[in-house]
Structure formats: C-alpha cells, structure tokens
C-alpha cells in the first residue's frame, strides 16, 4: 500500500523517493543538535544504510517508525502509538511492540497502535480487496517456512539471527529454531524488564532495539537499519564520538561490531563464523550494564547535590523529544 503512490513514476524516480523517504525519517527521529559532523557521517554511511540501498529494502523506514515511537512514548503517547503501529509493515520486527506498550502501561499508546494496525489492514483491503488477506494467510506462512527450511548457500549468509547462524553452519531448520528459542525468550523478558519502570531513555531504547533484532528468526541484514537511529543517538549522548571519551574499550568495540555487521556477517558466515547473534547479544549486555551502572551512580549522589543540579533530569527530558536534544 505504501508503494501505490509511486506506481506512476519511473523506476529511478520511485527508487530515489522510496529510499530517500526512509533515510530522512530514520535520521529525523534521531536528530540531535549536539551531534558532531562525524556522528552524522557515522549514521548516513552506516553499512545497514548501504545494504538497504543495494537491495532496495525499507529497513530505514521501519527504523524511523520504531525509534520515533520509542522516543515519543512519554511526551506524545498517541503519536508514539501510531508510529509503533506502522512498524507492522515488517511483522518480524513488530513482535515486541505489544510487550513494550503493555510493560510501559501506556493505554493511549496501546490504543493508538491497535487503531493504526487496524487502519492499515482495512486500507489495504479497500485498495486491493479483502480476498488479498486470505491469500496472504494461506500462502505466505507456508512459503516462508519453505524458504527458511530449504534455503541454502549465500542466501543463509543474509540471515544474522541465531536461526540463520545454525542454518549457515549446516544444521537443520529444527535445530535452528531450538537455538533461536532462548534468544527470543531472552528478548521478550529483557524488553518487559526495560519498560516496567523508568529508565534512562537513550540507553533503554538502544537496548530494546537490540532485543527486537534478537527476537525474530526471520531477520535479514537490511533489518539492522532499525538500529541506526538508536545507536547514533546513544553514541552522541554517551560521548563515544569524543576524542577524549573516558570509556572502556569493550562497549565501543562491540557496538562498532554490530554497526559493521550488515557487511561483515556475509564474509564471516561464508567462512563458518556466523557471529551476528553473538555480537548483538553481547552488545545488549554491555548497554544494559552501562545503563545500570549509570543509574547506580545517580542514586549515590548526595541529596543536596541532586537538588542543586538537575542537569541529568533535563537531559532525560530532552532525549525524549524529537530534534530537541
């Protein structure tokens, strides 16, 4: 349905508008006036961006919807719910959205999300006929199972999930799903834990985006574009772009490895090292550890200092507003 307005354009015009729209939305939801120019290039020339451009995929559009919804959830829950509902255009990335909204206890965002999904379904039925959904439900699940179960060769190197890692190593689809299961369960549990109480929003949003990637077996390299806004703002917020950043090397290295994953995973998987799920899970661990240590540091500050310095609270509020960081 999103492509209907492009049907009257030439291929090059439609491709440019389609990819440009996704790229602009993805960058807009992570815009920060404090970001240095090298942070901008870090975002624009991300391997995930290049993979999406090469394959003509819409991971950047989904990333814009996802991060925009996460970032607006506290200040504008209705708009956040609409954006998160639009993530349903990629069902494999939508799995954790209900968990996020339920754990966050945002009734307005949840209702807006449900209404948005219902609108998209109804609108597509109006445009293409209600019979299209029956055809989808009858054919797509079996087709997807066939492709994932019988796929081989370089196709499997495009799947950086735990399932894809097992399949690229020559294991059966059943073994792949068994290994994928703990990653999916972990992603659901961590997501609920992240949103069941108030946490530093930038780190939380990066962590839940990593969970979104870990949760699904049907993950492809271009889907890592959903990580770009979260990683971009996290790096800017925590000073990873600063030359004098006083930070352990483990966290930046792991986050940079995940940043490069859409390109390096193909080469590594082809040589028997499908590191996608491992690097993504380790990056999730270091982000959560740093988030918790930062929270403990803030709690240990004497009360008189907290009353005299509200910079952290002000920064937290600014992080939740688009374009105001």
166-194 per-position pLDDT tens digit: 999 989 888 999 999 999 999 999 999 99
200-248 per-position pLDDT tens digit: 899 999 999 999 999 999 899 999 999 988 888 888 877 765 655 555 6
Residue 306 lies in a domain: no
* pLDDT, the chain, mean: 83
Residue 156 lies in a domain: yes
**Side-chain-side CA neighbours of residue 163 (13 Å):** 22
Residue 307 lies in a domain: no
Residue 37 lies in a domain: yes
pLDDT recorded at residue 311 = 36
Residues 110 and 101: beta-carbon distance below 8 Å: yes
Q: Is the pTM of this model over 0.75?
A: yes
Residue 240 burial by Cβ neighbours in a 10 Å radius (0-12, 13-18, 19+): middle
Residue 1 lies in a domain: no
Nearest residue to 148 (alpha-carbon basis) of 134, 164, 160, 135: 164
- How many domains does the structure of the chain reveal? 1
50-109 per-position pLDDT tens digit: 999 988 888 899 999 999 999 999 889 999 999 999 999 898 899 999 999 999 998 999
Nearest residue to 206 (alpha-carbon basis) of 224, 184, 182, 222: 224
Residue 309 lies in a domain: no
Return the number of other C-beta atoms located less than 10 Å from residue 61's C-beta.
25
Q: Which domain holds residue 286?
A: 11-301+314-319
Residue 4 lies in a domain: no
Residue 69 lies in a domain: yes
């Amino acid at each position: 349905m999103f492509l209907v307005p492009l049907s009257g354009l030439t291929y090059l015009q439609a491709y440019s508008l389609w990819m440009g729209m996704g790229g602009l939305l993805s960058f807009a939801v992570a815009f920060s006036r404090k970001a240095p120019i090298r942070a901008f290039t870090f975002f624009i020339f991300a391997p995930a961006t290049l993979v999406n451009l090469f394959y003509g995929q819409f991971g950047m559009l989904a990333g814009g919807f996802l991060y925009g919804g996460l970032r607006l959830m506290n200040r504008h829950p209705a708009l956040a719910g609409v954006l998160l509902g639009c993530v349903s255009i990629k069902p494999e990335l939508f799995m954790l959205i209900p968990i996020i909204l339920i754990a966050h206890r945002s009734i307005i965002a949840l209702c807006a999300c449900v209404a948005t999904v219902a609108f998209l379904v109804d609108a597509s039925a109006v445009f293409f006929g209600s019979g299209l959904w029956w055809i989808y439900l009858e054919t797509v699940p079996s087709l997807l199972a066939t492709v994932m179960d019988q796929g081989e060769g370089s196709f499997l190197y495009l799947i950086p999930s735990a399932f894809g890692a097992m399949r690229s190593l020559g294991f059966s689809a059943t073994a792949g799903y068994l290994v994928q299961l703990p990653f999916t369960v972990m992603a659901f549990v961590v997501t609920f834990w992240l949103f069941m109480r108030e946490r530093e929003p930038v780190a939380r949003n990066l962590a839940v985006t990593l969970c979104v990637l870990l949760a699904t077996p049907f993950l492809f390299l271009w889907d890592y574009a959903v990580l770009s806004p979260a990683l971009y703002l996290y790096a800017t917020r925590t000073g990873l772009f600063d030359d004098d950043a006083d930070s352990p090397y483990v966290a930046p290295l792991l986050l940079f490895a995940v940043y490069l994953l859409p390109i390096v995973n193909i080469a590594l998987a082809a040589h028997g090292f499908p590191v996608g799920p491992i690097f993504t899970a380790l990056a999730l661990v270091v982000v959560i550890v740093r988030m918790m240590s930062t929270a403990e540091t803030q709690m240990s500050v004497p009360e008189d200092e907290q009353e005299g310095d509200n910079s952290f609270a002000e920064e937290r509020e600014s992080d939740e507003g688009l374009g105001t960081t």
